[in-house]
């Protein structure tokens, strides 16, 4: 059950990274803030791989590994773009709820692409937890346009596809333990994403590029937190199907609601409380099935 601890660590670190990135949006723009997690995260991943190489032989990636890693890297960038489109159209709450449908699409894609069917019990747990997210979001779905719903679900599906790419790359490595595999794929993936985002900023958003360099201290902190979170996501992906990891990560929604109540005195509506209960029930069901 190491994947459980890795997932919880990753979700916590990701929350901290999101907070760091949010503070950069006004200074460097949306695309600049998005690029920070890749551009400033890559040096940490490269350093971790270099340290690992001192004591252990690094697995040599073949074309299959590079293909899976590229799929995951590009799908994650595209997912982020559709997420931003959804947020502009419907706001944070609707976008978040739609993207958290990721475990469902991820389970379907896993069964098709990686031949990892999860079975009726796990699919039931995933569906229950996802329904809980929709209720816990507290958004008014009557006001959500079909266009934004489509881009939000597509963002979730692309995030799921990126997780499939990462797990495929991890499984395709010829040797190495799960931590070494995670570090190797992390460095490869962030290298690809950094190159793509730097090229985009240089060609389309020079202001954002100069902004992240000017705010390098905050950017470096966000990059470190992003790399730390991704390392533990990859450890989880190396040990269990990605749908299990992403479903367990839905507890982040509950933690965010509790934090909002403690810090901002925001009271949850009864329907939101029901949603949080369904998330916990779905996650508990998943863990029970996984441990059986």
Number of domains into which the chain is organized? 1
Q: Which one is predicted more confidently, 236 or 13?
A: 236
Which tens digits make up the pLDDT trace of 251-270?
A: 776 666 665 554 445 555 67
| pLDDT of 263 | 44
Q: Where is average pLDDT lowest: 134-138, 245-249, 278-282? A: 134-138
| pLDDT of 87 | 64
CA 64 remoteness from chain centre: 22
Q: Are 270 and 126 in contact (CB under 8 A)?
A: no
244 confidence band (pLDDT: 50, 70, 90): confident
pTM of the predicted protein model: 0.82
Across residues 4-22, what is the average pLDDT?
80
> CA angle, 184 as apex, 192 and 240 as ends, to 5°?
105
Q: Where is average pLDDT lowest: 141-155, 257-271, 276-290? A: 257-271
Across residues 241-247, what is the average pLDDT?
83
Across residues 184-198, what is the average pLDDT?
95
148 confidence band (pLDDT: 50, 70, 90): low
Q: Are 55 and 177 in contact (CB under 8 A)?
A: no
| pLDDT of 99 | 67
| pLDDT of 45 | 96
Supply the range of the domain harboring residue 28: 2-291
Across residues 221-247, what is the average pLDDT?
90
**Does pLDDT of 135 surpass 70?**
yes
**Does pLDDT of 179 surpass 90?**
yes
Across residues 159-175, what is the average pLDDT?
91
Across residues 218-225, what is the average pLDDT?
88
Tokens encoding 201: 């900023």
**Does pLDDT of 67 surpass 90?**
yes
Q: Give Rg (Cα) of the chain.
A: 19
**Does pLDDT of 43 surpass 80?**
yes
Which tens digits make up the pLDDT trace of 70-100?
A: 999 999 888 877 776 666 655 555 556 666 6
Q: Where is average pLDDT lowest: 198-202, 227-231, 287-291? A: 287-291
| pLDDT of 127 | 81
| pLDDT of 267 | 59
Across residues 103-125, what is the average pLDDT?
75
Per-residue 3-state assignment (H helix, E strand, C coil) for the chain: CHHHHHHHHHHHHHHHHHHHHHCCHHHHHHHHHHHHHHHCCHHHHHHHHHHHHHHCCCCCCCHHHHHHHHHHHHHHHHHHHHHHHHHHHHCHHHHHHHHCCHHHHHHHHHHHHCCCCCHHHHHHHHHHHHHHHHHHCCCCHHHCCHHHHHHHHHHHHHHHHHHHHHHHHHHHCCCCCHHHHHHHHHHHHHHHHHHHHHHHHHHHCHHHHHHHHHCHHHHHHHHHHHHHHHHHHHHHHHHCCHHHHHHHCCHHHHHHHHHHHHHHCCCCCHHHHHHHHHHHHHHHHHHHHHHC
| Mean pLDDT, all residues of the chain | 81
Tokens encoding 105: 């699409």
Q: Are 161 and 71 in contact (CB under 8 A)?
A: yes
Q: Are 277 and 239 in contact (CB under 8 A)?
A: no
Comparing CA positions, the residue from 205, 224, 209 lying closest to residue 20 is: 224
| pLDDT of 138 | 60
């Amino acid at each position: 059950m190491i994947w459980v601890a890795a997932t919880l660590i990753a979700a916590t670190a990701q929350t901290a990274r999101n907070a760091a990135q949010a503070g950069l949006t006004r200074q460097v723009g949306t695309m600049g803030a998005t690029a920070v997690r890749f551009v400033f995260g890559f040096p940490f991943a490269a350093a971790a791989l270099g340290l690992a190489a001192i004591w252990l032989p690094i697995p040599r990636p073949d074309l299959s590994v590079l293909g899976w890693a590229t799929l995951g890297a590009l799908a994650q960038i595209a997912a982020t773009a559709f997420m931003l489109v959804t947020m502009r159209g419907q706001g944070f709450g609707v976008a978040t709820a739609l993207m958290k449908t990721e475990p469902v699409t991820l389970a379907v894609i896993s069964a098709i692409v990686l031949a990892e069917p999860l079975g009726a019990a796990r699919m039931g747990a995933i569906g229950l937890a996802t329904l809980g997210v929709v209720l816990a979001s507290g958004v008014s779905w009557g006001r959500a346009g079909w266009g934004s719903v489509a881009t939000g679900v597509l963002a979730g599906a692309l995030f799921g596809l990126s997780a499939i790419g990462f797990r495929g790359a991890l499984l395709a490595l010829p040797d190495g333990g799960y931590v070494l595999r995670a570090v190797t794929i992390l460095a490869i993936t962030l290298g690809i994403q950094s190159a793509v985002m730097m090229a985009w900023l240089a060609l389309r958003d020079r202001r954002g590029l100069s902004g992240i360099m000017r705010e390098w201290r905050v950017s470096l902190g966000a990059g470190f937190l992003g790399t730390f979170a991704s390392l533990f996501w990859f450890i989880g992906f190396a040990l269990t199907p990605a749908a299990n990891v992403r479903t367990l990560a839905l507890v982040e929604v509950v933690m965010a609601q509790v934090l909002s109540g403690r810090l901002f005195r925001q009271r949850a509506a009864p329907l939101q409380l029901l949603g949080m209960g369904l998330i916990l029930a779905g996650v508990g069901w998943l863990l029970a099935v996984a441990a059986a």
